[in-house]
Chains A and B, each alone.
Chain A
Amino acid sequence: MVASVRLTNVSKRFDELEAVRELSLSVEEGEFLTLLGPSGCGKTTTLRIISGFEVPDEGSVLIDDKVVNHVPPFRRNVNTVFQNYALFPHMTVFENVAYGLSLRKAPRGQIAKKVHEMLERVGLVAKARNMPRELSGGEMQRIALVRALINEPRVLLLDEPLGALDAKLRYAMQLELKHMHKNLGITFILVTHDQEEALVMSDRIGVMKSGRMLQLDTPREIFERPGSRFVAEFIGTGNLLQGTVSARSGSGGKIALGETRAWEAAAIPDEIPVGARVAVVMRPQKIGLYLDHPPQPPAGCNVVRASLQEIFYAGSIVRFFVDIGGATLLVENIPENLPFDYLSIRPGAALTLHVPASALLIYRD
Chain B
Amino acid sequence: MNPVNGSSESATTSFQAERRRQRLLWFLLCFGPPFLYLLVFMLLPYANILLYSFWKVENYAIVHDLNIDNYLKFFENPLYTRVLWNSLFVATVVTTCAILVGYPLAFFLAFVAGKHRRLLYFLVIAPLWTSFLLRAFIWKLILGREGMINGLLQYVGLTDEPISLFLYNQFSVCLTLTYIFIPFVTLPVFTALEKIPRGYIEASMDLGGNGLQTFRRIILPLSIPGLVAGGIFTFALSFGDFVTPTLLGGPSSIMISNVVMGQFGAAFDWPFGSAIVVIVIGVILSAVILASLAERRSSAPVV
A residues neighboring B (CB under 8 Å): 51, 53, 72-75, 78-80, 82-84, 86-90, 99-100, 103-104, 131-133, 147-148, 151
The answer to whether A90 and B221 touch (CB under 8 A), given A103-B213, A131-B300, is yes
Residue of A nearest to B213 (CB): A103
Within 8 Å by CB of B208, from A74, A83, A86, lies A74
Residue-wise, chain B 203-221 has the 8 Å CB interface mask toward A (1 for contact) of 1111111100100011001
Do the beta carbons of B209 and A103 come within 8 Å of each other? yes
The answer to whether A151 and B207 touch (CB under 8 A), given A90-B302, A131-B300, is yes
Expressed in whole angstroms, the Cα–Cα distance for A104 and B213 within the complex equals 11
Do the beta carbons of B203 and A90 come within 8 Å of each other? no
Residues on the A chain within 8 Å of B218, using CB: 88
Within 8 Å by CB of A86, from B200, B213, B302, lies B200
Expressed in whole angstroms, the Cα–Cα distance for A147 and B207 within the complex equals 8
Expressed in whole angstroms, the Cα–Cα distance for A133 and B301 within the complex equals 10
Do the beta carbons of A80 and B206 come within 8 Å of each other? yes
Assess whether B146 is interfacial by the CB under 8 Å rule: no
Residue-wise, chain B 179-218 has the 8 Å CB interface mask toward A (1 for contact) of 0000000000000000001011011111111100100011
Residues on the A chain within 8 Å of B206, using CB: 51, 53, 73-74, 78-80, 82, 148
Do the beta carbons of B202 and A86 come within 8 Å of each other? yes
Assess whether B299 is interfacial by the CB under 8 Å rule: yes
Expressed in whole angstroms, the Cα–Cα distance for A73 and B213 within the complex equals 13
Residues on the B chain within 8 Å of A104, using CB: 208
The answer to whether A86 and B203 touch (CB under 8 A), given A74-B210, A103-B213, A104-B208, is yes
Expressed in whole angstroms, the Cα–Cα distance for A188 and B299 within the complex equals 34
Do the beta carbons of A103 and B222 come within 8 Å of each other? no
| Residue total for B at the interface (Cβ-Cβ under 8 A) | 21
Expressed in whole angstroms, the Cα–Cα distance for A53 and B197 within the complex equals 15
Can you list 15 A-B pairs, Cβ within 8 angstroms, ordered by A?
A72-B205, A72-B210, A73-B205, A79-B206, A80-B202, A83-B199, A84-B199, A86-B199, A89-B300, A89-B302, A90-B221, A99-B204, A132-B303, A148-B207, A151-B208
Expressed in whole angstroms, the Cα–Cα distance for A99 and B203 within the complex equals 10
Expressed in whole angstroms, the Cα–Cα distance for A151 and B207 within the complex equals 7
B residues neighboring A (CB under 8 Å): 197, 199-200, 202-210, 213, 217-218, 221-222, 299-300, 302-303
Residue of B nearest to A147 (CB): B207
Expressed in whole angstroms, the Cα–Cα distance for A304 and B199 within the complex equals 54
Do the beta carbons of B208 and A103 come within 8 Å of each other? yes
Min distance, Cβ B183 to any Cβ of chain A, angstroms: 26
Min distance, Cβ B121 to any Cβ of chain A, angstroms: 22
* A73, A78, A131: most-surrounded residue (chain B CB, <10 A): A73
Do the beta carbons of B208 and A89 come within 8 Å of each other? no
Expressed in whole angstroms, the Cα–Cα distance for A74 and B197 within the complex equals 18
Residues on the A chain within 8 Å of B303, using CB: 89, 132-133
The answer to whether A100 and B208 touch (CB under 8 A), given A53-B202, A133-B303, is yes
Do the beta carbons of A79 and B300 come within 8 Å of each other? no
Do the beta carbons of B222 and A90 come within 8 Å of each other? yes
Expressed in whole angstroms, the Cα–Cα distance for A83 and B209 within the complex equals 19
